[in-house]
Chains A and B, each alone.
Chain A
Amino acid sequence: MNINLKINGKTHSDDVEPRLLLIHYLREVVGLTGPHVGCETSLCGACTVECDGKAVKSCTMFAVQADGANVTTIEGLAVDGKLHAMQEAFWNEHGAQCGFCTPGMIMASKQILDRNPHPTDEEIRMGLEGNVCRCTGYQHIVNAVRAAAKAGA
C-alpha cells in the first residue's frame, strides 16, 4: 500500500506492507533512530511519537494508519540545532541515564505540557504512566518536566 505522510516536516511517500508497524516504518524505512522498540505491546512507551499532535505508541499502530498524518519524532523537536525546552530540561535535570526510554519519555513529557502547561507533580506522574524508565526512578524526569513547564515549554 502506498502511504503519504509528513515526518518531522518532510514529506514521505512509500509503498509498505499493510502489516508493517509504524515503529518499524520509522526505523527501517525512514531510517530514524530516536523512537525505540522496548516491549512491542504498547506498555513501555519507548516508541512514543506525535501523530497529528497526539502522543501515540508507534509499536501498536500500523504505518498505513499514519497515511496522511503529520508525525513528529524526537529527531524533529530541535529547531535549527536549538534543543526543545524539554530536551534541555532532561539534560539539565539528569532525566536520562541509559537513554533508551528517553526519546519516548521526552515526547510523552512534551504532550503533558501541551495539554496542561502547569501540571502538578501528581499530574506529571500520571501523565508519564504509560512510559517505563528502569534507570532513574522517575524523580529527575519529574524535575525535568517541572523545569520545562517553568521555562514555558
Chain B
Amino acid sequence: MATTIAKPELLVGKRLRRREDPRLITGTATYVDDIKMPGMLYAVIVRSPHAAASIKSMDVSKAAQHPGVAAVFTGKDTEKVGPVPCGSSLPGLRVPHHYILAPERVYFVGHPVAVVVATDRYVAKDAADLIEIDWDVRGAVADPEKAIADGAPPVHPQWPDNKAFTHHQEGGDVDKAFAEADVIVKQRITSQRLIPTAMETRGVVAEWRAADRQLNLYSSTQIPHLMRSLVAQMLGLEENRLRVVTPEVGGGFGSKLNVYAEEALMGFVAMKLGKPVKWIESRRENFLCTIHGRGHVDYYEVAAKKDGTITGIKLLIIQDLGAYHQLLTPAIPTLSVLMMPGLYKTANIRADIIGAFTNCVPTDAYRGAGRPEATHGIERMVDILAAELKMDPVEIRLKNFIQKEDFPFPTATGLTYDTGDYSLPLKKALGMVGYEKLRAEQAEKRKKGELMGIGISTYGEICAFGPSPATPAGGWESATVKIDPSGKVTVMTGCSPHGQGEETTFAQIAADELGIDIDDILVLHGDTAIVQYGIGTFGSRATAVGGTALYFALQDLKAKIKKFGAFLLESDDATLAGGVVTCNKTGASKTLQEIAGATYRAMKLPANTEPGLIATHFWEPTNFTFPFGAHIVVSDIDRETGGITIRRYIAVDDCGNILNPLIVDGQVHGGVAQGLGQALWEEAVYDESGQLVTGEMTDYVLPRAHMMPWIESDHTTTPTPVNPLGVKGVGEAGTIGCSPAMVNSVVDALSPLGVRHIDMPMTPEKIWRLVQGASSQEPVARMGERL
C-alpha cells in the first residue's frame, strides 16, 4: 500500500516506454469512430465537384424520401450558423464569410453544400447520391501567382485582385546592404502544397441533451477548449452548455489545430434532430477538405561580402491561401518572415507577403507551419551563395552564425533568440558523418562522372508558442494537480496530446517533483468538462509551456504538502523529499498519504489553509524558445533513372533538456519522414480547373517504410532560460531541418552539371531530366545572377 516511499531515482531524462501505449497496442483505445450511442445517426456531406460554381438549383427530395433518411439540410437551413472562424487579424485582412454549408456559391472542390443524415453510413451515402444539383460553373484559378496576375478569375467577386492581404516588414537598412554588397544571389524557391494526412481522418460525434440544454461534442482535435469557445459562438450556444471531448486523436500535425465547418454542422444537426449524430471524414474528403500545408512561392535575394558575410536578405512570399481563411491561414507566412534570417547574424531584412486567394482548400498550419518554408529558403540561399563564392557550405555557415556569447540575440525580424551554440550540433554532425573523408570520396567520384552529394542544413526554430501578446488565442498553458485522500495523484493538462506522449513525460515531471512512484500518477486531458481551460498541442509547445505550467502547479502543491506535513509534525523546520515530510529536528515524518488524508479529513488545519490538496497554475511564457540543430544528407544519384539513394542521414538536434530520449527520437524520426516527404515525394497538385489531381493515397505519395533511410540521430543540449525545465520543443525539428539538407545534397550531387537549384519534390523524373540536360518541367534555376 505504501507506494510513496522515498525513491532516489529521477525519471526525467530516462528512456521510459510510454504509459499511453497499452491501449494503443491492444486496439482498445477510443477514437471518435469508436464512439457509439443509442439511436445514433450517421451523416454524409455532399460536396461541390467544381472549384468555382454557383448552385442554380438543388433538389434534395429524393434523398429526403429515401428509406432510413432522417433529414437533409442545405446551406439555406444553416445560413445563420457560423461563420467558420479565422483567428488571425492582420491589418486590412479581407475575410470572406465562410458558411458551414455554401448557400449559393462554391469556391473549391469539396466545398460542402448539404448534409444527409440517416440510420447508417451506407444508407446516408446512398441517399447523398440522389441529390441533384444544377451547377453554373465559373472560371477558377488554382495557382497563387496566376491568381494575383491581371485578368485572373476572381475567387471572391468582391475582391477581383485575389489579394487577401499584403504584409511588409523591414529591419536594419536593407537598401544600404544591397548597395554595398560584393555579391547578390537571387532565387525563386517554392515550397509546394502538402496534404497533412493524419492517419485518422477528422470525425465528430454530437449529442444534444435538450432537457439539460447540453451539447456534447466529440471531435478529433488538437484544441478542445478553443473549439468549445468557437463552436459555441458558431451555434449561438452558451459556452458552458458545450462540452468538447477529445478522445484518442490519430495524428494531427496541425491539420486538427482548427475549427471546421463540420463541428458546428454536427452540433446543428444533433440539436435539430434531438439525436446523436456521427460524421467520419473519408480519406477523399480529408485530402479535399482538411487544410493543406505550405503553398509558398518565394523570391529570395541575398547580399553578401566577398568573404561570405551575409549582409542583407530580401524575401517576397506569395502565399497560396486557398479560398478561405481557416483558423490561422493568414498568420502562417508571417512566421516564415520571423524566421527568415535563420541562424545568421544578418541585421538587414525586407520581407513582403502577398496572400493570394485561390480556388483550393485553405492552407494552414502543417508540421512546422511557416518555419520549414523559411528554413528551406535561407538554407538553400546560403548554399547558393557558397557556390557563387566557391566556399564550403560549412565554412559559410560558421562564418555567419550568431555566436554563443551573442545571446539573448535580437534579430532583424524583431525576435529575441533565447540561447544557442549553433556550431555545436553542426560540428557533431560533421564528426558523425566523417565530412572530410566524404568530400575526398566525392572528389574521386566526380572524376569518374559519378554523382554524389553532401547536403547540410543548420536550422533554427521558433517554438513554445508563446507569449500571449504574440499569439492569436493566448499563449499560456494550464495544469491542475490534485492529490486524492489516499495520496494518488491526478494531473490535468490543458494541452491535449495526440501522439506526443505527454501522459508519460508529464507523469515523469510530477513523479520527480513529488518524489513518488510514477504509477501513482494519472495524466488526464482532452475533456472540457474535466480539465481546466487550456490552449492545446501545437507549435512544439506542449512540454515547454504545458510542462512548465505543471511544474509550477507542482511547486504550489509541494508548498502546501510541506506546510501541512510540518503542521502535523508540529515542526517549524521540516523538509519534503521522496514524498515524505520529515522534521529536521526530531526525524519524525509523515508520508504523502498521511498528509493527503489529513488535509481532507481536516480535523485540524494550519492557519489560513484550506482543506484538500489541489493546485492549478496558468503559466504565461515571457518568450518563445529557439531550438536548433544540423542535418546532413549523403546521397547518390543514378544517372540512368534519376533515382536518389540516401546513403546517410544525420540529425543532430538541440531541443534543450530532454525529458525522455525515446520520445524525442521518435519525434525527430517522424519529423524527418515528413521533411523527406516534402523533399522527395509529396505534392498536392491542382489542375487548371481547380481539381485536386492528387486526391487519393494512390496519387499522393507518402513516405513508406522501404522508402525511408536509417536516421542517425543525436543531440546537443543547450537549455533555455525561458522555462525552469530548460526544454525548448522538438515536435517540428525533424521536418524543419530536413528538406533543405535533402535538396542541398542533391543539388551538390548535380552541381558538376551546372545545377544550382531544384524545387521540391525532387521526383526521379525531375532529376533524370536535369541529368539528361533536358529542360525540367520546373524552371531550372539560373543561379547567381548579379544585379
Binding site for B on A (CB under 8 A): 17, 19-20, 24, 27-28, 32-41, 43-44, 46, 73-75, 77-78, 83, 87, 90-92, 94, 96-103, 106, 121-122, 124-126, 128-129, 131-142
B603 interface hit (Cβ, 8 Å): no
Please report the C-alpha to C-alpha distance between residue A151 and residue B599 in the assembled complex, in whole angstroms. Answer: 49
**Are A132 and B282 within 8 A (Cβ)?**
no
Please report the C-alpha to C-alpha distance between residue A20 and residue B125 in the assembled complex, in whole angstroms. Answer: 13
Partner of A44, one of B21, B29, B199: B199
The residue on B at minimum CB distance from A87 is B25
Please report the C-alpha to C-alpha distance between residue A141 and residue B704 in the assembled complex, in whole angstroms. Answer: 12
B260 interface hit (Cβ, 8 Å): no
- For the complex, would chain A's binding face be called helix, strand, loop or mixed by DSSP majority? loop
The interface residues of chain A lying within 8 Å CB-to-CB of B668 are 137
Please report the C-alpha to C-alpha distance between residue A128 and residue B673 in the assembled complex, in whole angstroms. Answer: 15
**Are A46 and B199 within 8 A (Cβ)?**
yes
Please report the C-alpha to C-alpha distance between residue A83 and residue B345 in the assembled complex, in whole angstroms. Answer: 54
B430 interface hit (Cβ, 8 Å): no
The interface residues of chain A lying within 8 Å CB-to-CB of B253 are 134
Task: Mark interface residues in B660-680 (1 if CB within 8 Å of A CB, else 0).
Answer: 001101101111111000000
**Are A134 and B198 within 8 A (Cβ)?**
yes
**Are B200 and A90 within 8 A (Cβ)?**
no
**Are A19 and B122 within 8 A (Cβ)?**
yes
Partner of B704, one of A40, A91, A129: A129
The interface residues of chain A lying within 8 Å CB-to-CB of B672 are 137
- Which one of B60-68, B135-143, B493-501, B746-754 is at the interface? B493-501
**Cβ contacts A to B, 11 pairs, < 8 Å:** A34-B27, A39-B697, A41-B698, A43-B697, A91-B25, A94-B663, A96-B21, A99-B21, A128-B704, A128-B706, A136-B669
Known interface pairs A33-B34, A136-B666. Does A17 touch B27 (Cβ–Cβ under 8 Å)?
A: no
- Which one of B231-239, B244-252, B444-452 is at the interface? B244-252
The interface residues of chain A lying within 8 Å CB-to-CB of B21 are 90-91, 96, 99
Interface pairs A-B: 8 shortest CB-CB: A34-B27, A100-B250, A99-B24, A98-B499, A137-B669, A137-B673, A74-B27, A97-B499
Within 8 A of A (CB), among B11-64: 17-18, 20-31, 33-34
Q: With a 10 A CB-CB cut-off, give which of B198, B662, B663, B697 has the most chain A CB atoms.
A: B697
**Are A98 and B249 within 8 A (Cβ)?**
yes
Within 8 A of A (CB), among B445-491: none
The interface residues of chain A lying within 8 Å CB-to-CB of B159 are none
The interface residues of chain A lying within 8 Å CB-to-CB of B30 are 33
**Are A41 and B673 within 8 A (Cβ)?**
no
The residue on A at minimum CB distance from B713 is A139
The residue on A at minimum CB distance from B283 is A39
The interface residues of chain A lying within 8 Å CB-to-CB of B673 are 134, 136-138
Please report the C-alpha to C-alpha distance between residue A19 and residue B121 in the assembled complex, in whole angstroms. Answer: 12
B242 interface hit (Cβ, 8 Å): no
The residue on A at minimum CB distance from B667 is A97
Please report the C-alpha to C-alpha distance between residue A128 and residue B29 in the assembled complex, in whole angstroms. Answer: 22
Q: With a 10 A CB-CB cut-off, give which of A87, A122, A126, A128 has the most chain B CB atoms.
A: A87
**Are A142 and B283 within 8 A (Cβ)?**
no
Partner of A139, one of B249, B674, B711: B711
Within 8 A of A (CB), among B681-728: 696-698, 702-706, 708, 710-711
**Are B282 and A40 within 8 A (Cβ)?**
yes
**Are A140 and B665 within 8 A (Cβ)?**
yes
The interface residues of chain B lying within 8 Å CB-to-CB of A24 are 121
**Are A41 and B283 within 8 A (Cβ)?**
yes
Within 8 A of A (CB), among B278-326: 280, 282-284
The interface residues of chain B lying within 8 Å CB-to-CB of A135 are 199, 251, 499, 666, 670
The interface residues of chain A lying within 8 Å CB-to-CB of B121 are 24
